[in-house]
Amino acid sequence: MQWRVRTTLPDRPGLLARIAAACGEAELNIVGMQVFPGSPHVTDELVVVAPDGWTDVQVADLFEKAGGEDVVATRVSAGAPDDAPTRYLAGASEVLDGGRPVEEVLRELLGTETPDVADYRGHDVLDLVRRDGRTLRVSRAVPFTPVERSRAQALLSLVGDAGFDQPLIAPTDLGPSPMVRDAAPADLEGVAALHERCSIETLYARYQVPLRMPLTTRMARRLVQPDHGHALVVQSGLDLVAHAVLEEEQGRWTLRILVEDAWRDRGLTTMLVRQGARVARERGLERLTIVSGAADDRVLRAVGSAGFVARVERHDDELHVTLPLSPR
């Protein structure tokens, strides 16, 4: 089993030797290493091969007992030991010669896929500046080092100068026809990006509380795979432009919908109402309550467009629209 272990060490002699000795005693083979200088601490990233049966918790515990701080261990593929400069040069080539999106290459180089870490402490955010002044934001659970920030900005600047710089968080192009589908684990980043593109007012209408950005991985997971419910997304091209969650709340089933500002009044809420009602019927439910902000008249129009005659109630800052789900 191969693991990437990142740890912070005080910048003084002998500590790295202690970690190497501890790995040797436990029969963990160090096959790759990067050093990210800093003051007064240094961040070391090691790729180790552990005996079968080892878990991320055991690997992290070994490094902590050897003197490591802020240890994070994640499972990696066999290609992980490749040196970073080579991988970044290959990434630039993939964008310039192979046409891969620069966002996709950066996610791979920086390891921003949702990690299965032993002790998740929340997202660190990396804002990269494009040549036209726009910002490309990426985030992950493991903190970014200054070296990684410099490398990522250099790669974005290189491909940007060549004209290969499409936005990730900028408002979505209204070109491709939208499609409703079930949410999947791979939609974590797309749902997070959708929330970042939405205005404060749109987010407040959806959640009825101020929502802090960017989304944590834990919240994104709940939105994509609710413990006791069902999630839907609307996809246009490669972007997710709307999202809905069907779940049980205090003895009743609710549907909460979020549509990107640029896609309002284009029928997406109606699509999600119809699809949410279909899912609710399949679960054997007799009624479904759509919950939104008290002033959200778009929901009422969408319900009518979807063909429902509903009961409308207003509770403080919330609008409750209950749909009967008799077979049609």
Residue 81: strand, helix, or coil: coil
The pLDDT value given to residue 119: 46
Tell me, what DSSP letter sits at residue 262? Answer: G
Is residue 120 domain-resident? yes
- Residue pair 299/256 in contact (Cβ under 8 Å)? The answer is no
Quote the mean pLDDT of the chain: 83
Radius of gyration of the chain (CA): 24
Is residue 172 domain-resident? no
Is residue 148 domain-resident? yes
Name the percent of the chain lying above pLDDT 70. Answer: 88
Q: Does the pLDDT at position 165 exceed 50?
A: no
Same domain assignment for residues 211 and 282: yes
Is residue 282 domain-resident? yes
The pLDDT value given to residue 320: 92
Same domain assignment for residues 234 and 269: yes
Is residue 167 domain-resident? no
Same domain assignment for residues 102 and 65: no
What's the rounded Cα separation, in Å, for the pair 213 and 192?
Answer: 9
Same domain assignment for residues 155 and 191: no
pLDDT digits (tens, 9 = 90+) for 264-295: 888 899 999 999 999 999 889 999 999 998 88
The two counts, helices (H) then strands (E), for the chain are 10, 13
Same domain assignment for residues 33 and 101: no
- Quickly state the pLDDT bin for 176 (edges 50, 70, 90): low
Same domain assignment for residues 12 and 113: no
pLDDT digits (tens, 9 = 90+) for 290-300: 999 888 888 88
- Does the predicted TM-score (pTM) go above 0.75? no
Is residue 196 domain-resident? yes
Same domain assignment for residues 93 and 41: no
Query: Which residue, of 128, 161, 194, is where some domain finishes?
Result: 161
Geometric angle at alpha carbon 122, from 119 and 124, rounded to 5°:
120
- Residue pair 8/43 in contact (Cβ under 8 Å)? The answer is yes
Is residue 207 domain-resident? yes
Query: Which residue, of 27, 46, 75, is where some domain finishes?
Result: 75
104-108, 138-142, 230-234: which range is least confident on average? 138-142
What's the rounded Cα separation, in Å, for the pair 11 and 35?
Answer: 11
Strand-pair partners of 249: 252
Same domain assignment for residues 217 and 311: yes
For 279, phi and psi rounded to 5 degrees?
A: -60, -40
pLDDT digits (tens, 9 = 90+) for 65-95: 998 888 888 887 765 546 677 888 888 888 8
Same domain assignment for residues 191 and 298: yes
149-171 burial string, b = 16+ CB within 10 Å, else e? eebbeebbebbbeeebbeebbee
Tally of structural domains, the chain: 3
Same domain assignment for residues 16 and 65: yes
Q: Could you give the dihedral angle defined by the CA atoms of residues 251, 234, 319 and 223, in that order, rounded to the nearest 10 degrees?
A: 50
Q: Does the pLDDT at position 40 exceed 80?
A: no
Same domain assignment for residues 280 and 317: yes
What's the rounded Cα separation, in Å, for the pair 129 and 126?
Answer: 10
CATH code of 251's domain: 3.40.630.30
Same domain assignment for residues 59 and 154: no
Arithmetic mean of pLDDT, 11-28: 88
Is residue 306 domain-resident? yes
- Quickly state the pLDDT bin for 171 (edges 50, 70, 90): low
* Residue 71 domain boundaries: 2-75
Query: Which residue, of 161, 193, 219, is where some domain finishes?
Result: 161
CATH code of 63's domain: 3.30.70.260
